[in-house]
Chain A
Amino acid sequence: MINKNAKILLEVRDLTATVAGVAILKGINLTVRAGEVHAIMGPNGSGKSTFAKVLAGHPAYSVSGGEVLYQGKDLFALSSDERARAGMFLGFQYPVEIPGVTNSAFLRLAYNTVQVPRGKDDLDPLEFDDLVREKMKLLEMDPGFLSRSINDGFSGGEKKRNEILQMALLEPVLALLDETDSGLDIDALRVVAGGINKLLNADNACVLVTHYQRLLNYITPDHVHVMSAGRIIKSGDKALALQLEERGYDWLLDDKKAGATA
C-alpha cells in the first residue's frame, strides 16, 4: 500500500558494487517506504539477486560507491548480523543445508537473538515449540521439519517454506525475498505467497526479487522495477509486471538502446 507520508525504510543512492573486481551493480537508486511492496524483475544476470545480497551484506560483494540509508542510518556501517538484528531479512534463493544442527534449535536461537533485544521474552524450547508450531500452520508445514537438521534433505519447496517460516518468526522490518517463488509448484506458491501476505503490514516493507510475474499474481506489488546490466531501467506499477509477462524483457532493452542512441 502506498502512503506518500510513510516512513522511509530504505534509501539507495547510486549504489555500485563489484564481485572479484567485476562491476555488477552500476548505480542503483531506490526508495522503499513502510507499507510498500516492491518487485524487482529483470533477465538473468541483470544483478537483481546481487542487489539483495549486497543489502544483506554478503561477503563476496564489495560496495564500490553510493550510499544506502536503512531507517535513516548508514547501512554499510552495520555488519550482516547487526543488519538482521535491526530488522532486515534476506530470504535466500538457495538456502544452505547445515547437517548437525536441528531446525528447531536454530530457529529458536535466531528468534531469541533477534526478538529478545526488541523486548520479547527469551523462549525456552517448550515455549518456542508452541510458537513455531503456530507459525508453521501459516505455511502448512509438517512439524516433522523441526526435528530435522537445517534444510538437510529438504526439497526446493520445503526450503522456501522454511525461509518464510524464519521470516514469520523474525518479523522483519524490511524483507528482501530473493526468488522465493523458484522451486515452488503452484499449490506451494499459493501457500507461501499467502504466508508472506499475512506478514506484511503498514509498518514493514518487502522487496521481492523475481524473474516471473506468477508470484505477483498472489502478492500485489506497489512498485515494479526492471533491472538490466546493473541498473534499474524502468519503474512502474503492477501493470508493468503484466506487460513484462506479455512482452518479455526485450522491448525494454531495445527501448533503452534506442534511447541511448537518440
Chain B
Amino acid sequence: MSVHVTKPASHPYVALLLAGSAAVPASPATWLNTRRAAALERANALSVPTTRDEEWRFTDLTPLTKVQFQPVSAAADVAASDIAAYVVPEAAVRLTFIDGIYVPALSVRGKLPAGITVELLGDALKTQAALIEPHLAKLAVGEHDLFTALNTAYLQQGVFVHAAKNTAFKQPIHLLFVATRKGAAAHPRCLVVAESGSECCVIEDYVALGEETCLTNAVTEVAVAPNASVRHIKLQRENNAAFHISNCAVTLAKDARYLAHAVTFGARLSRNNLTVTQQGEGAHAQMDGIALIGGRQLADTHTLMDHTQPHGTCEQVHKTIVGGGAHAVFNGKVFVREGAQQTDSSQQSHNLLLSDKAHVDTKPQLEIFADDVKCAHGATVGQIDAENLFYLLSRGLPEAQARNLLTYAFGAEIIDRIPVPSLVAQLEKNVMARTEGGV
C-alpha cells in the first residue's frame, strides 16, 4: 500500500478508528511504549488502502470504511455452552477471548509441562520481557501496513506462547477468539517463540456468535529458532457480516520448520497476510490453505515466502471453493534472494468455482535471483470435473450428492492434513453443511 505524507491522522477513517479507542495504559516496558508510539505514528500517517494499491487490487475495503468500530472495554456475557461446539478435546490449554477481552471462566488452563509457557501477553511482559523484547512488533513491523500498525498501537490483550530449548510439546494450544458485539473491534496479538530444538502446535481460532458486524484485526508473530518446529493452525469461522484482517509474520532460523494450515470459511471480507522469512540455511515451510466461501463473501490471501539463505524448502498448496457471487483472491509471492542456492520451493493454487457468478483472482508471483534453484508453481481454476462426476453418478449417487461429495473432497484434501482429529471432524462437518447448502 502506498505511504502518504505524514500528517496527524491523515485519513478520516483511521482518525475515527483511533478516536474510538480508550487510551492504552503505558507498559512498564519502555521499549514497548516506544514501539506502540511509533506504530501509532505510522497508523496516523497511513491511509486505508484502496484498489489502486497493488497489494489491494482485488479487495475493496469500502464496505469496511462504512462501519464504525470501537474496541470494547468489558466482555459480553457468554456461557460455556455457547462455545461448546468449538472445544478441541485434544488441546492442553484453551485461552478464550470475547471481542478481544480475555475471559478466564471460558478458558482451560491445566498444568503444562516444564518449558512450555502459555500466558497472557500482559502478564508475560511483567515476568518474561527478555524473551519477548527481541520479537514483539519486530517480526511484524507494519511500516507500510495500516492494520499491523493499528494492532501494535492498541497492543494490550494477547497471548505469549513459549517453548524452551529442546522442549517438544505436540498437544495443541488452543487460542479461541469469539466475536459477539455489534461494532466491536478486536486487535488480538499472538507471539509464538520456539527456542532451538523445541516443538509446539498452536491453534488460532476465530469464531463468531450471532450475526453482528465486527472487526477482527489480528497480528501474529512466530519466531522459530534453529531446528525447532511450529505447527500453526489458523481457523477463521466468523459470521458473514464480519470483517477479518490478519497479518502473520514468521521467521525461520537454520533447519527450522513451520507448518501452517489456514482455513477460511467466514467473514464478509477477510484478508490473510502470511509472510515467512527463511533466515537460516535448510529451513522448511509448509503452507496449506483452504477458503470455502459463498454468497457475497470475499476471501483474500496474500502469502510471501522469502528464501534468503541456501537449502530452504517450501511446499505451498492453496485451494479455494467459491460459490454464489463470492470472490476469492490469492497472491503467492516467492522470493529467492541472491545466494539462496539449492532452494526447493513449490506453490500450487487450485480453485473450484461452483456458480457462474463466483469469481477468483489468483496470482503466483515468483522473483528469483539465484541460479541453482527449483521453483515450481501451478494454478488452476475450474468447475467440478465432468469425468469425476460421471463416475459417481454411474455408481448410483444422485447428482446433488455427487457434486457435494466432489466439493467436499476438494477441500478435504487440505483439511485432512491437520493432525487434530476432532478439529478435522468439526471442519468436515462445516464443509458438508456448507456444500449441502450450496455454500
Q: Which residues of A contact B (CB under 8 A)?
A: 56-60, 79-81, 83-85, 89-90, 92, 95-96, 98-101, 106, 109-110, 113-114, 149, 166, 170
Contacts and interface: CB of A to CB of B under 8 A. Distances in A.
A41 B220 CA distance: 64
B395 interface: yes
A81 B416 contact: no
Given A58-B390, A80-B390, A95-B391, A113 B409 contact: no
Contacts of B390: 57-59, 80
Of all A-B residue pairs in the complex, the 9 with the closest CB atoms, nearest first, are A100-B409, A84-B396, A100-B412, A80-B393, A110-B395, A100-B413, A114-B396, A113-B396, A101-B409
Nearest to A100: B409
Given A100-B412, A101-B405, A114-B396, 11 more contacts: A57-B394, A81-B398, A95-B391, A96-B391, A98-B409, A100-B413, A106-B405, A113-B395, A113-B398, A114-B395, A149-B409
A101 B390 CA distance: 16
Contacts of B413: 99-100
Interface residues of B, number: 24
B394 A99 contact: no
B394 A84 contact: yes
Contacts of B411: 100
A201 B391 CA distance: 25
Most chain A CB within a 10 A radius of its CB, from B386, B395, B405: B395
A80 B387 contact: no
Contacts of A101: 405, 408-409, 412
A89 B391 CA distance: 11
19 contacts: A56-B394, A80-B393, A81-B398, A81-B402, A84-B395, A89-B394, A90-B394, A92-B391, A95-B391, A96-B388, A98-B409, A99-B413, A110-B395, A110-B397, A113-B396, A113-B401, A149-B409, A166-B395, A170-B395
Interface of B: 385-388, 390-391, 393-399, 401-402, 405-406, 408-413, 416
A17 to B, nearest CB: 15
A79 B394 CA distance: 9
A149 B388 CA distance: 13
Q: Chain B at the A interface: mostly helix, strand, loop or mixed? A: helix
Contact of A109 (B388, B393, B397): B397
A184 B411 CA distance: 32
Contacts of A58: 390
Contacts of A110: 395-397
Given A59-B386, A81-B402, A98 B395 contact: no
Contacts of A60: 386
A80 to B, nearest CB: 4
A106 B408 CA distance: 12
Which of B387, B406, B410 has most A Cβ within 10 Å?
A: B387
A84 B401 CA distance: 14
Contacts of A81: 393-394, 396-399, 402
Q: Name the residue among B397, B399, B416 with the largest chain A CB count within 10 angstroms.
A: B397
Contacts of B399: 79, 81
A101 B415 CA distance: 12
A59 B395 CA distance: 15
Contacts of A170: 395-396
B288 to A, nearest CB: 13
B399 to A, nearest CB: 6
B393 A98 contact: no
A110 B405 CA distance: 12
Contacts of A149: 409
